Chain A
Amino acid sequence: MTNSIGIVTPQTLHIDQPLQLVSGALLPQYDLVYETYGELNAQANNAVLICHALSGDHHVAGFHQGETKPGWWNDYIGPGKPIDTDRLFVVCSNNLGSCRGSTGPASLNPDTGKIYGLDFPIVTCRDWVNSQNALRQHLGIEQWAAIVGGSMGGMQVMQWAIDQPDKLRHAIVIAAAPKLSAQNIAFNEVARRAIMTDPEFHNGRFIEAGTNPKTGLTLARMLGHLTYLSDDMMGTKFGRELRADKLKYSFDVEFQVESYLRYQGEKFATKQNFDANTYLLMTKALDYFDPAAEFDHNLSQAFARTQAKFLVVSFTSDWRFSPARSREIVRALLDNDLDVSYAEVESEHGHDAFLLPNSHYEGIFRAYMHRVIQESASL
């Protein structure tokens, strides 16, 4: 999987049409930053939308000018890869509320002329679908050949299939869940408390205050990161390996796993410069995701109008969104006699497995995308 798309450049779509949000708030205008790879064919029927995960963004494959690190799903998107950019037109947009270019809490509020901060309205998966639908129209795509996403992105895919049933032919839902469990929400809440109780948070106005709640954000990321890994994999990778050659009996870092988590957390908060308010918003969007809630808490009913064909994928060691959660999704789709395939991929990498190379995963992904490509070609 060495083929790369090469250098890619983000674009921005500015939308003046106000966006009515699920929360009741109105976003008067907004920007969506997105990247595209490959060519939209003459019939405009080979377009694939990628939905990103909590800390992801629109830079899904290829390289930005002058960068050495490719997009976050470069292993699976590119010429000859499962999502084959020689055949498909790939679109990925940055979600509203993010800190990577689309309008979010670090943007200027046009009503006040000040940075939004925590005044940025709470956004949900449905709001993201509605904003991406505007991008779809802008790009001249009547119907997506497929919408693909992992983790939070997988939830967004389901929301698309529920809200806009005739706007996609295939839905690929990877390492997702039909809603968060109490434990999932609890982890998110601890992460939010870590951020909001950081003295540098300044009630979300840290940019104006010239501070950065990096301690809180680091803790939040350490906690999140922990839930992405499996116990087995941490055992294999770190075990009880020490940082130094002997125990110091102090509160300094003793074990390698402590050092690794601190490094990951600090990198996220400083080098990657993730916005603390965005972290709060994204975890909230996850908590609120529950498409069955509007249908008497019956997930099968939620998919009653859905037309898309589905591929659902889970990973054996993922305990954040375990295979059992994906099987709930499959069951609800089967209840509606929808076309669905399901793969449970053997992996020791926990939730993170959806981003990593794995021959079974790649085989399934490639085979299913082959079907997507064949069907698009025969339309």
Chain B
Amino acid sequence: MSLELTPEFQLIADWIEPHSQVLDLGCGDGTLLKHLQTTRSVRGYGMEIDPQKNIQAMLKGINVIQSNLNGHDLEHYFDPHSVDYVIMTQALQVVSRPDLLLENMLTIGKQSIITFPNFGHWKMRAQLSLRGRMPETSALPYHWYDTPNIHLCTFKDFEDLCEQKNIEVIARSVVNTQHQRTLGMRLWPNLLGEVALYKVKKRASNQA
């Protein structure tokens, strides 16, 4: 089966140990989970609210649990530390309380992998500062009034939240929507990276 994969998904696959247990929050049509099953032999479940995407994921043979990430579904279904990786791609910015969800993800998962559109990217900054308008880009192709992205943040914002919540960044990377990684993105990720990828875990609590 040929799957068109974004570099984002390829990077995620590199971060996953083979044969681990994975939970994909907002799994969409199941492309990532299917890829991880094929290339990393993971076992796992997708969680997705949209009925049509549930059907598409099921057609790929994915275990998908229709759930609402704004509710208590995660805690209802999973015990603390019961999953190796809780993954959430491009969904942190659409939930009602990203901070609480992040906390939950790191309670249930030993590690979490999170990707989100970087609101600090130069295109966003330019549109707001030069045109005085809410940015609309290929990474965020919505109007201010119909966007599902209600909690956008920059790399720096996200890392501040991690610091505040005693969350350790194990790895981070950036990609752009043209499927490239450039030297500039490595040097100035918050300015040139369109999509942020983070692998995080909770710091041991006895240090506090």
A335 to B51, CA, bound (A): 24
A334 and B77 in contact, given A341-B58, A341-B65, A371-B58 (Cβ under 8 angstroms)? yes
Query: Which A residues touch B67, using CB under 8 A?
Result: 342
Interface of B is mostly: mixed
Are B66's CB and A342's CB within 8 A? yes
Are A331's CB and B76's CB within 8 A? yes
Query: Which A residues touch B9, using CB under 8 A?
Result: none
A337 to B43, CA, bound (A): 9
Residue B69 interfacial (CB < 8 Å): no
A367 and B45 in contact, given A330-B65, A344-B66 (Cβ under 8 angstroms)? no
Please, how many residues of chain A have a CB less than 8 angstroms from a CB on the other chain?
24
A330 and B58 in contact, given A337-B43, A344-B66, A346-B51 (Cβ under 8 angstroms)? no
Are A363's CB and B77's CB within 8 A? no
Residues of chain A in range 353-379 having any CB-CB distance to chain B below 8 Å: 360, 363-364, 366-368, 370-371, 374
Are B76's CB and A339's CB within 8 A? no
**Distance in Å from the Cβ of B44 to the closest Cβ of chain A?**
10
Of A331, A364, A370, which is within 8 A of B54 by CB?
A364
Of B21, B51, B77, which is within 8 A of A330 by CB?
B77
A 49-91 binary contact with B (CB < 8 Å = 1; else 0) = 0000000000000000000000000000000000000000000
Residue of A with least CB distance to B68: A344
Residue B188 interfacial (CB < 8 Å): no
A343 and B61 in contact, given A327-B76, A330-B77, A337-B43 (Cβ under 8 angstroms)? no
Residue A340 interfacial (CB < 8 Å): yes
A339 to B37, CA, bound (A): 13
Number of inter-chain CB pairs below 8 Å: 53
**Distance in Å from the Cβ of B93 to the closest Cβ of chain A?**
24
Query: Which B residues touch A337, using CB under 8 A?
Result: 21, 43
Query: Which A residues touch B56, using CB under 8 A?
Result: 367
Residue B78 interfacial (CB < 8 Å): yes
Residues of chain B in range 1-36 having any CB-CB distance to chain A below 8 Å: 21
Are A363's CB and B51's CB within 8 A? yes
Are A367's CB and B63's CB within 8 A? no
Residue of B with least CB distance to A343: B66
Residue B64 interfacial (CB < 8 Å): yes
Residue of B with least CB distance to A314: B66
Are A360's CB and B51's CB within 8 A? yes
Please, how many residues of chain B have a CB less than 8 angstroms from a CB on the other chain?
21
Query: Which A residues touch B45, using CB under 8 A?
Result: 334, 340
Are B55's CB and A367's CB within 8 A? yes
A359 to B195, CA, bound (A): 35
Residue of B with least CB distance to A344: B66
Residue B150 interfacial (CB < 8 Å): no
Are A343's CB and B54's CB within 8 A? yes
Of B43, B59, B65, B78, which is within 8 A of A367 by CB?
B59
A330 to B67, CA, bound (A): 12
Are A334's CB and B78's CB within 8 A? yes
Query: Which A residues touch B43, using CB under 8 A?
Result: 337
Query: Which B residues touch A363, using CB under 8 A?
Result: 51-52, 55
Residues of chain B in range 62-90 having any CB-CB distance to chain A below 8 Å: 62-67, 76-79
Residue of A with least CB distance to B79: A335
A368 and B58 in contact, given A331-B77, A334-B77, A363-B51 (Cβ under 8 angstroms)? yes
**Distance in Å from the Cβ of A170 to the closest Cβ of chain B?**
12
A367 to B56, CA, bound (A): 8
A340 and B63 in contact, given A331-B76, A334-B45 (Cβ under 8 angstroms)? yes
Of A339, A346, A366, which is within 8 A of B63 by CB?
A339
A109 to B155, CA, bound (A): 77
A-B pairs with beta carbons under 8 Å apart, 27 shown = A327-B76, A330-B77, A331-B76, A331-B77, A334-B45, A334-B78, A337-B21, A339-B63, A340-B45, A340-B63, A340-B65, A341-B54, A341-B58, A341-B64, A341-B65, A342-B66, A343-B51, A343-B54, A343-B66, A344-B66, A346-B51, A360-B51, A366-B55, A367-B56, A367-B59, A371-B61, A374-B61
